[in-house]
Amino acid sequence: MEQVRQARNVALFIFEQVEPLDFAGPFEVFISGSNRGQDFNVYTVAEMEGPIQALGGLSINPAYTIHNCPDPDILVIPGGWGSRKEMNNETITSWVRDVSNDVEILLSVCTGALILAKAYVLDGLKVTTNRLAMKELREIIPASTEIIEDIRYVDNGKIVLSAGISAGMDAALYVVERLLGEERAIQTANIMEYDWKKA
């Protein structure tokens, strides 16, 4: 009898002044690609309990905190103006560093790359971010890390980084493709009526 695989836990980290589409885009990709929840269990995580104010005043209630969330198989770190503050939040960068040891995939969107850089998980990798934040990223990465410009996303195996905002949806679709096959990724994009731009 074929063994049914447990749904992968997909955690989307949110914080004050997060860019809404940076997390909501991948959130939609993973729920649309989940085969009605059978393949992905998708949820939001914040540092603490209570509503998060995203850019534009959007209020979001995280499902969990970093202290009580299910162990993620996939962790998504979005960007937004708030990433500049959170990249210096030792509680967050330590959590990202610890969780990165056990996840199957760590995906950053836009300036979420700044948080990954400060979590010291980018050594020797190829990275990208929002084109307007390349200089900021260049200032904090190790000399062994290579910035790739003019690309939608870059895959280092466990760690995948994407450029700005909508590129996070493209990267999330790529992750769906990597894990569940091209047919599922195309089906997911079609469900969303989204024009998937591959790297």
Domain-wise residue ranges, the chain: 8-192
Q: Is the model's pLDDT at 4 over the cut of 70? A: no
Of the chain, the percentage scoring pLDDT greater than 90 comes to: 94
**Bridging pattern class, strands 153-155 and 159-162:** antiparallel
Q: DSSP readout, 45-80?
A: EESSSS-EE-GGG-EE--SEETTTSPPPSEEEE--S
Contact assessment for residue 11 and residue 69, using Cβ atoms and an 8 Å cutoff:
yes
Where residue 188 falls (left for φ over 0; alpha for ψ -120 to 50; beta otherwise) is alpha
pLDDT of residue 132: 93
Rounded distance between C-alpha atoms, residue 163 and residue 126, angstroms:
12
Structure tokens at 76: 């998504």
5 — pLDDT class (breaks 50, 70, 90)? confident
Q: Is 1 a residue whose pLDDT tops 50?
A: no
Instruction: Kindly provide the residue ranges of all beta strands, DSSP E only, lying in the chain, ordered along the sequence.
Output: 8-13, 40-46, 52-53, 59-60, 64-65, 74-77, 105-109, 126-127, 146-147, 153-155, 159-162
Q: For residues 111 and 83, what is the distance between their CA atoms, to the nearest angstrom?
A: 6
Q: pLDDT for 92-103, tens place per residue?
A: 999 999 999 999
CB 150 within 8 A of CB 125: no
> What is the CB neighbour count within 10 angstroms for residue 123?
11
Residue 141 above 60 pLDDT?
yes
CATH homologous superfamily of 8-192: Class I glutamine amidotransferase (GATase) domain (3.40.50.880)
Burial class from Cβ neighbours inside 10 Å (0-12, 13-18, 19+) for residue 101 reads exposed
Mean pLDDT throughout 6-33? Answer: 97
**What band does 198 get if pLDDT is binned at 50, 70 and 90?**
confident
